[in-house]
A and B are shown apart, each in its own frame.
Chain A
Amino acid sequence: MPFTILKKQELVPTLHRMDIAAPRVAEKAMPGQFVILRIDECGERIPLTIADFDAADGTVTLIFQEIGKTTCQLASLGAGDSIADLAGPLGCASTIEKFGTVVCVGGGVGIAPIFPIARGLMEAGNKVISIIGARSADILFWEERMKEASSELYVTTDDGTKGHHGFVTDIVQNVIESGEQVDRVIAIGPPVMMRAVAGVTKPFGIKTVVSLNPIMVDGTGMCGACRVLVGGVTKFACVDGPEFDAHEVDFTLLMSRLAMYLPEEREALDYKAAEDPAV
């Protein structure tokens, strides 16, 4: 049974929001979990973290950036279209409990998955200090939503077009050094950003959690494509994660494994372009 796209919106250039009718997934979804989708019979299976879910409406919200062939093809679909497959919710849910003060960091497209976690932590009675960052103001999204889901919100841009001119790590450092008793940090974004956040919090011994996004195929522990090294032990991000202790993650390995199919991604894009110039 195909899954219908109810809403599609380009939030900022090349970054899209898609609400998909998937009542059973929406009913069970928890912050931090992901889905695996496949567009059509020829499609690959890609994981996307759940950015929001509404059990009453039976919808799951996904945010994705046009990067490879599949995300570009997904971006070409609109409300009323459907995708062949959507499996989830997969992975372990984020630990939501009353920690005290939690810093939530979202970088780039990582702002989307940090949102339901920040909201959940707020509802659990935490003081939530959120920091969201992007390369530039014109590709920053969900600032309002994040403001509502946080006690305090900081914005950073690499080029200074909005908020703090610099990186999210600058604000993480400032918050900690301001004397704020930070009990937990959770960071989602590009691996370099997550590694940098882990580097900032480690000297202070603050428990830091990151959500990893390695390549996956089945997403149920069957293939091991998503192997990550955490504390020297191989874990499968799909079933053991996707969240792990940031201070234990081998980010170098993660980044090298993420780059494994770059030549094939290019080939797939070229093939698609030759076949269908519109996409």
Chain B
Amino acid sequence: MKIKTESKPEKRSKMAKQSPSKRRSNFEEVALGYNRYEAVAEANRCLNCKKPPCIEGCPVGVDIPRFIRQIAEEDFDSAVLTLKSTNSLPAICGRVCPQETQCEAVCVLGKGGKGDPIAIGGLERFVADYEMEEGVTIPDLPSPTGRRVAVVGAGPAGLTAAAELAKIGHSVTVFESLHAAGGVLVYGIPEFRLPKSIVAAEVDFIRRLGVDMRMNSVIGKIGTVDELLRDYDAVFLGTGAGLPSFLGIDGENLNGVYSANEFLTRVNLMKAYLFPEFDTPVKKGRRTIVVGGGNVAMDSARCALRLGAGEVTIVYRRGEDELPARAEEVLNAKEEGIIFRLLTNPIRILGDGNNWVTGMECVNMELCEPDESGRCRPVPVPDTEHIIPADVVVIAIGTSPNPLVSMTTPDLEIAGYGTIVADETGATSKPGVFAGGDIVTGSATVISAMGAGKVAAKAIDEYVRGLSGYENLLNIT
């Protein structure tokens, strides 16, 4: 039976969520996804534009109108194939991509404020979750090319590059420093926004494409890039921006002060929210302050709340409009009762005689006129110093590239702030070595890293095919 829908409503199908009062004390997923009725209804809103701007808006170029049309036709299996042909991690992207600034931002339905853009992210998630329920099928793989590629880092960039290369028939080995694949998807993004079982399932898909995943392998320590080049025809570096930044103010080494990386790694990767069933502890503050206004700050604050902190405060030096986090996550955080102290900047962290944090001294800020770059610089308002009490402080003000690989690869060109210099194809200054994701751009989004992985995979494919001896090899196979 076909699902009947009204013609092109202006409002999108609402996705069910756990209620704020319930979800603030559990780590289960907040957004519950569309059921098939909601998905088909939403898909039917699509205008099927002749020149779809949404594809342009997607860093990996998913054929969005096509998979939406297939949902509208209730041909979910075809929608899966459409999605998977360009995106190896759709269940992840459907959940964590900032669609509102990418594909959905350019949707014709949302133009001129007439109505809501189509819920591309929600529909992508629906298709991916449908596939997981039905059982994931592995595409037919071409015969092996005989070329070997090493991928360093099993985050979004590395996983995407690995999947793309494996689908072409190259032999791919992924080296990951942690004990689980996923990078920021497993250590950073919390369970309630991206269940780890989803990441594991998508990683498993890539493994089943024939990719050899080696955990506990810290490149730069267990081997260098030059050593990898002896065994592999090319190397892709997707090592991310994993080094936490601190404020550089007094009191940052007090007990109870965490980098967001540490706090989130303990909670997410190590499952400290299940302590003592899981061995890794985390300090469950009564009053937690999170410094920063990005997605990582929202994630940290919402984790702290779920750990049982009665009061969680976000301290951010700019205003509401400047919050870098996704609007949806800011709203979720507010609904859950996170306190926002905007235009507030930390001056120092205060501690007791036993080196334990007791609070944070802050000052109010105001935004001055925009400078030449167009950004309003926050400046302190005199005589507004005040103290916010806290027993846990999380510093979520950004990360910088991890230098372990660049330090041990002398002929790799490095830019300021430690990023690896790569051209638009991902090629670095070192022949056979490609890079993409946060290690090239500095911290950015999951999907932009995936886009870079995908572009680099194409360049790596061309590179390894161009290596002498390839034709001979083809004749043999």
Contact = CB atoms under 8 A, between A and B. Distances in A.
Q: Are A and B a genuine interacting pair, yes or no?
A: yes
Interface of A: 1, 24-25, 28, 38, 42-45, 69-70, 84-90, 217-218, 220-225, 227, 229, 234, 239, 252-253, 256-257, 259-261, 264-265, 267-268, 271-272
Contacts of A252: 355
Interface string B260-287: 0110011000110001111111010000
B276 A267 contact: yes
Given A28-B221, A227-B253, A217 B279 contact: no
Contacts of B403: 221
A89 B178 contact: no
B259 interface: yes
B266 A217 contact: yes
Contact of A223 (B255, B262, B278, B354): B262
A247 B136 CA distance: 59
Nearest to A223: B262
Given A85-B216, A217-B266, 4 more contacts: A1-B215, A28-B223, A227-B252, A267-B275
Interface size class of B (residues with CB under 8 A): 35 or more
A43 B179 CA distance: 11
A221 B404 contact: yes
Contact of B244 (A1, A85, A224, A259): A224
Interface string B203-236: 0000000000001111001110000000000000
**Prevailing SS type, chain B contact patch:** loop
Contact of A234 (B178, B215, B223, B252): B252
Contact of B281 (A28, A85, A87, A268): A268
Interface of A, secondary structure class, is: mixed
Contact of A87 (B218, B243, B261, B262): B218
B270 A224 contact: no
B402 interface: yes
For the complex of A and B, 10 pairs with smallest distance between CB atoms: A264-B281, A223-B262, A44-B279, A271-B276, A256-B355, A87-B216, A85-B179, A44-B280, A222-B242, A224-B259
Contacts of A222: 187, 242-244, 261, 265, 402
A257 B262 CA distance: 14
A77 B224 CA distance: 33
Nearest to A40: B279
B279 A223 contact: no
Q: In this complex, which of A1, A224, A239 has the most chain B Cβ atoms within 10 angstroms of its Cβ?
A: A224
A181 B224 CA distance: 39
Contacts of A239: 404
